[in-house]
Amino acid sequence: MKKIIRNGTIVTASETYQADILIANGKIVSIGKQIIEKGVEEVDATGRYVFPGGIDPHTHLEMPFGGTVTKDDFETGTIAAAFGGTTSVIDFCLTEKGKPLSQAIKTWHDKSKDKSVIDYSFHLMISEINDRVLEQLPEVIAQEGITSFKVFMAYKNVFQADDETLYRTLLAAKELGALVMVHAENGDVIEYLTKDALQKGQTEPIYHALTRPPEVEGEATGRAAQLAGLASSQLYVVHVSCKEAADKIAEARSKGFDIHGETCPQYLVLDQTYLEKPNFEGAKYVWSPPLREKWNQDALWNALRTGQLETIGSDQCSFDFVGQKDLGRDDFTKIPNGGPMIEDRFSILFSEGVLKGRISLNQFVDITSTKAAKLFGLFPNKGTISVGADADLVIFNPTSKRTISAETHHMAVDYNAFEGMEVTGEAESVFVRGEFVIKNKQFVGTPGSGKYMKRAKYGEMMTVSDQVDTVRSE
Ligand code: URP
Ligand code: ZN
Ligand code: ZN
Ligand code: ZN
């Protein structure tokens, strides 16, 4: 059924204005004052912002990691995302050396297709580069619309790739029109520091942070940036946690390198002291890169405000405290890395960013949605409010207050890293391609209704017909 969203304040990355939005067949068909149309469902948005749906470019749903599997899958994870105002996710598809890429991609389709309640796509991990892999990449782009490749510079003997692999991935990506993403930490040095710590009997969660100091992130970020410059390729640094790394990105950008950076809510709000919580609670706050000394937060906010960092990913990678995080009770290296963040990414950035005057309302939209759509080949179908775009929309009450808690969140895990934190601003209704997924704070979506998104090549615009899904038929 057609819908009209009335009297809301539409906010895009560049404009703020009051108008009605007419939606038909999943698309925005008209934007204007007092649209008159018969046979439509009227949705009142008086006193509310209408934002483009959030795009979370960094999730790990149902991902095997550290001897266990992330707790939130494509169903619970995307339901939680929708509650938070996110209408698309791009998840990391893991690959294994020597195995066909198509097999890994099929595994990810099987995990997601009957479960996701919002639209989704995949980044592809590159674990090795050789003739066989290079032969498969054009097809990955053409058939799957996967136009971003992820290289890990850390997690030695697990995911870590060497510099030759990174460099050759950058060259291939330039040629094929893909964006290379890096987890930038120096895995070799971390390996040495962690072994050294364990030998000294330093087993508590805080040593996770102390064995991955900012220098190892800054060094790897700078190295990746230099290699991207040498290859004249394009690079996206995920989960930037500290000033050292943000500065390396800014420096490379000042030289004209095509380099982009993402940070995450946890680095903007939490700090290294959380890892020192008693009774092993510090394990809840184990991310890689780790939480940093608090002063780094100002540097990260500043980088977002000045555009040196451009996006915010949740890095959703959730593990229960009981039964998963506690695998590392006697050895911090066995604590599965990551946390539950998909639900609160959007509202934390609004509450801590917009309402505290650190970023503007339009920057908020850019950072949570538009920039990711542009960098990852979804724009202008996703990431903005314009005629012809998908009607992925959030009706957001900017004054509503709530306290974040595991008791009330929708993620499948037994804790929330922001437990007890009060945030202002809340998604009340959320539409994916014109259908309610959240209606007046109630979930009304359907698992499997989310569509797989094929993405345009790096730097190219998505056309409406490109994005018709061939994996699922209507
Ligand atoms: O600690 C983290 N970030 N876990 C998720 C995997 C990754 O490195 O992104
Ligand atoms: Zn990572
Ligand atoms: Zn660029
Ligand atoms: Zn991640």
Strand 86-93 vs strand 435-439: parallel, antiparallel, or unpaired?
Answer: unpaired
Nearest atom of ligand 1 to the alpha carbon of 58: 9
| Ligand 1 contact, 152 CB (< 6 A) | no
Cα separation values, 396 from 49, 164, 359, 393, Å: 5, 46, 17, 9
Average the pLDDT over 17-36 and give the result: 97
Q: Is the dihedral of CA 107, 79, 286, 371 positive or negative?
A: positive
Question: Of the residues 317, 334, 413, which should be mutated to test ligand 1's pocket, given the most ligand atoms within 8 Å of the CB?
Answer: 317
Distances (CA, A) of 223 to 24, 186, 237, 245, 303: 48, 9, 11, 11, 20
Whether ligand 1 lies within 6 angstroms of the CB of 204 is answered as: no
Could you tell me if the CB of 317 is within 6 A of ligand 1?
yes
Q: Residue 306: inside a domain, yes or no?
A: yes
pLDDT in tens, 266-302: 999 999 999 999 999 999 999 999 999 999 999 999 9
pLDDT of residue 395: 99
Structural domain count of the chain:
1
Q: How many residues does the chain have?
A: 474
CA–CA distance, 286 with 269 (Å, rounded to integer): 14
Is residue 220 over pLDDT 50? yes
So what's the pLDDT on residue 461? 79
Per-residue pLDDT reduced to its tens digit, 98-129: 999 999 999 999 999 999 999 999 999 999 99
Integer angstrom CA distances of residue 287 from 231, 291, 352, 362, 467: 30, 7, 21, 29, 34
pLDDT digits (tens, 9 = 90+) for 344-399: 999 999 999 999 999 999 999 999 999 999 999 999 999 999 999 999 999 999 99
Question: Is residue 192 included in any domain, yes or no?
Answer: yes
Show the domain range for 317: 1-468
In a domain, 474, yes or no: no
Residue 23 Cα, ligand 2 centroid: separation in angstroms? 38
Q: Using a 6 Å cutoff on CB, does residue 147 contact ligand 1?
A: no
Ligand closest to Cα of 179 equals 3
Mutation probe of ligand 1 site: the residue of 58, 60, 150, 208 with most atoms within 8 A of C-beta: 60
User: Cα-flanking dihedrals φ and ψ of residue 316, to 5°?
Assistant: -50, 120
Q: How far is the CA of 197 from the centre of ligand 3 (A)?
A: 40
DSSP state of 454: P
CATH of the domain at 128: 3.20.20.140
Q: 474 CA distance to ligand 2 centroid (A)?
A: 35
Q: Is residue 332 part of a domain?
A: yes
Beta strands in 295-363 (DSSP E): 311-312
Q: What pairing do the DSSP bridges indicate for beta strands 16-24 and 27-32?
A: antiparallel
Taking CA 115 as the corner, what is the angle to CA 22 and CA 126, rounded to the nearest 5 degrees?
100
Residue nearest to atom 9 of ligand 1 (CA): 315
Has residue 423 been placed in a domain?
Answer: yes
H or E stretch at 119: strand 119-125
Residue type, 247: D
Asked if the structure places residue 209 within a domain, the reply is yes
Q: What is the pLDDT of residue 462?
A: 72
The model's pTM is 0.97
Decide if 402 contacts 87 (C-beta within 8 A): no
Whether 172 is in a domain gets the answer yes
CA separation for the pair 330, 231 (Å, rounded): 43
Q: Which ligand is nearest to the CA of 375?
A: 3
Instruction: Identify which of 287, 324, 325, 413 to mutate to test ligand 1's pocket (most ligand atoms within 8 A of the CB).
Output: 287
Is the distance from the beta carbon of residue 288 to the nearest atom of ligand 1 less than 6 Å?
Answer: yes
Residue 238 inside a domain? The answer is yes
Residue identifier of the C-alpha nearest atom 5 of ligand 1: 338
Ligand positioned closest to the Cα atom of 57 = 4
